[in-house]
Structure 1
């Protein structure tokens, strides 16, 4: 094999490895958000926790932006402000509030796992993303798998409370569609910092206006806030933006099927929550579903 052929093979392997690592990292870091929510809301309200989370993240973001001094177009600025409002303020605000009011994290993750279906049926055609029959099969199998994972948690909360995470889900879907439609050109680091800064203003302003901003005395609360900044904001949302640019909205959304199983494993390791046989079977079903959804289209090579 010539040197040129060797380099070509390495580039091809690298082009496949990067999306795989980005996808795996996204699942782990995104799942950590549910753990941080459960951890932090044990000490204070969801709004207070989110305000402190984005106060820290926004401060760091402001420092990074001040050092980098990026040139961001007006169109990109509008896009990222809209995304911060929809995917952070609306999505996280309603998700955390639901958990704070007693909705189990597994059920919340199940509702979040409806995103691939919404993306495929509503947003996909608008974005020009075709969903193959095999991917449709994977979408439905994945939804069934998530249902198995969280089956034991269903029926423990008021039905009206489910409107909170479902409303948050709609915010995430809308923000995802805006990003894929407008395709902002700003550097990913600048995009992450800008959205974190805007989210900090929104959450701190809302918490202050509603008298929910406090100064908790428990170190565990600030541990949860730092956890959310490092793993959920920087890792989870940062890799969400990376995956959006590497693949279509349907494929990145399909990874959300792996979030409830991963969350359960993390909860078992951190809070000693048990995993039943039904949930273990559901984890396998979710993995099969994601493989089907992310299977390349033979006719397009994508």
Structure 2
């Protein structure tokens, strides 16, 4: 009975929890500057994840390995989320941001020289189709921003480069410890970004507190625990396929909760983009499988430093989003 309950609830719960990160992110940056949201998230989630790692006796990286984990964490957390949250501040929709983030495995494939992998013709086609889907979804936005789109690309590169870096230099680090280190090292950098921006004004403390609480409890901790539980129970491919449902789920949640429009062109763009994601994430039989954040070989982001996933599972904490 317990096993059937896990099968029936875990997968939709994971998709909803991951997708919700984009929604609460937009609510958060609507109540406070993006860098303040970033700082609040890491300043609270980092110590909590540290306590969790100590409680479960995680193996902590040291020396050169620790430096590599810190660099990967700054790429995945600071570069990715500073860019994505700033894009939200430029009124880029949650659906577009989640679709761009979902192209993470495609960008990782483009760094095949680092990973020693071969890019198949099907993957190149998938990359092109995914780009067309994003273009359609963006074209349907009532308030288009070239700066916002550029920020999305920067965020995607941060996630992908951080994933590749972690895979190359610290692939065997305990995922629980790496996740805590990523958040802890990002907090002071986020504080510096707040000081540089000079914008500390919180316009709505209630919305800010609610969104921040959700980011920390659900997106930074809850989805991380559920992700690992599913990987212990099921194979990585089954878990990885869930990421293909996130852009559409995000679009629906954004329509329901923050009144972002869901027009025919947006739906078409999301559908085409997802087809591209599926094609680009599939490997030919001759190609070596690409290991998958937050969260290691293919960190989904808002999940960083998670157990290895195939490229299909790579997507974003927004850690985890």
Band the TM-score falls in, shorter-chain normalisation: 0.7 to 0.9
With 39-48 and 194-203 compared, the bigger mean Cα shift is at 194-203
Which SS does the other structure have where 2:59 is aligned?
A: coil
> CA, structure 1 residues 173+301, in 2 after alignment: closer, same or farther (shift >3 Å)?
closer
* Deviation for aligned residue 1:132: 2.1
> CA, structure 1 residues 163+236, in 2 after alignment: closer, same or farther (shift >3 Å)?
farther
Q: Which sections of structure 1, spanning at least 5 residues, go unmatched?
A: 1-17
TM-score by length of 2: 0.70
Which SS does the other structure have where 1:31 is aligned?
A: helix
Does 2:139 correspond to 1:131? no
TM-score by length of 1: 0.74
Measure the CA separation in 2 of the matches of 1:165 and 1:220: 24
> CA, structure 1 residues 141+193, in 2 after alignment: closer, same or farther (shift >3 Å)?
same
**Equivalent position of 2:190 in the other structure:** 203
Q: State whether residues 90 and 145 of structure 2, in contact with CA within 8 Å, keep that contact through their aligned partners in structure 1.
A: no
Q: How many residues align?
A: 275
**Equivalent position of 1:193 in the other structure:** 180
Does 2:276 correspond to 1:289? yes
1:99-129 Cα offsets, whole Å, 9 max, x none, are 21333334444554554443223x1122112
Relative contact order higher in (CA < 8 Å, ≥ 6 apart) = 1
Measure the CA separation in 1 of the matches of 2:288 and 2:154: 35
**Equivalent position of 2:292 in the other structure:** none
1:16-69 Cα offsets, whole Å, 9 max, x none, are xx9xx88x8776544333211211112111111111111110120232244336
**Equivalent position of 2:220 in the other structure:** 233
Measure the CA separation in 1 of the matches of 2:283 and 2:215: 33
Which SS does the other structure have where 1:288 is aligned?
A: helix
Measure the CA separation in 1 of the matches of 2:148 and 2:87: 7
Does 2:95 correspond to 1:95? no
> CA, structure 1 residues 137+29, in 2 after alignment: closer, same or farther (shift >3 Å)?
farther
Q: State whether residues 49 and 221 of structure 2, in contact with CA within 8 Å, keep that contact through their aligned partners in structure 1.
A: no
* Deviation for aligned residue 1:70: 3.1
> Please, which of 260, 266, 275 is the counterpart of residue 262 of structure 2?
275
With 208-217 and 60-69 compared, the bigger mean Cα shift is at 208-217
Q: State whether residues 261 and 283 of structure 1, in contact with CA within 8 Å, keep that contact through their aligned partners in structure 2.
A: yes
**Equivalent position of 1:164 in the other structure:** 151
Measure the CA separation in 2 of the matches of 1:129 and 1:103: 33
* Deviation for aligned residue 1:264: 0.7
Q: State whether residues 28 and 211 of structure 2, in contact with CA within 8 Å, keep that contact through their aligned partners in structure 1.
A: yes
> Please, which of 143, 146, 153 is the counterpart of residue 141 of structure 2?
153
Measure the CA separation in 1 of the matches of 2:280 and 2:83: 28
Q: Which sections of structure 2, spanning at least 5 residues, go unmatched?
A: 1-6, 290-321
1:169-184 equivalent positions in 2, closer than 5 A: 169-184=156-171
* Deviation for aligned residue 1:198: 1.3
Q: State whether residues 117 and 288 of structure 2, in contact with CA within 8 Å, keep that contact through their aligned partners in structure 1.
A: no
**Equivalent position of 1:265 in the other structure:** 252
> Please, which of 132, 137, 142 is the counterpart of residue 144 of structure 1?
132
**Who wins on radius of gyration, i.e. which is larger?**
1
Measure the CA separation in 2 of the matches of 1:95 and 1:54: 15
> CA, structure 1 residues 236+158, in 2 after alignment: closer, same or farther (shift >3 Å)?
same
**Equivalent position of 2:294 in the other structure:** none
Point out the structure with the larger helix share. Answer: 1
**Equivalent position of 2:68 in the other structure:** 79
Measure the CA separation in 2 of the matches of 1:264 and 1:181: 34
**Equivalent position of 2:22 in the other structure:** 34
